[in-house]
Amino acid sequence: MAPGRNGQQRASVRVGMTVDVIRKEDQRSTRTTRGVVEEILTSSLFHPHGIKVRLKGGIVGRVCALIDPAVPGDDAHTH
């Protein structure tokens, strides 16, 4: 994965994009959860374990993969 595309850079994560996160309780198993970012919780520009987000539905976790890197609104006629 290209630098900045793995969820460690805050600038790469946007509200409305689809991401995979690892919840705190899943860190040992590395089980991922896919969802849509509702809120970005990490204030720093970089975090080595991934930017912490809240997904729609209330799940909180650290971004491990960006699934839909498109900026919301750019693809208004798709999905």
Cα 11–Cα 12–Cα 15 angle in degrees, nearest 5 = 90
- Give the residue from 70, 11, 74 showing the smallest Cα distance to 46: 11
Say if residue 5's pLDDT is above 70: no
The alpha carbon of 11 is separated from its chain's Cα centroid by a whole number of angstroms, namely 11
Condensed to tens digits (0 to 9), the pLDDT of residues 13-70 reads: 999 999 999 999 998 998 999 999 999 999 999 999 999 999 999 999 999 999 966 5
| The pTM of the whole model exceeds 0.85 | no
What contacts 42, CB < 8 A, 6 or more positions away?
10, 51, 52, 53
- Give the residue from 25, 16, 20 showing the smallest Cα distance to 75: 16
The pLDDT, as a whole number, for residue 3 is: 44
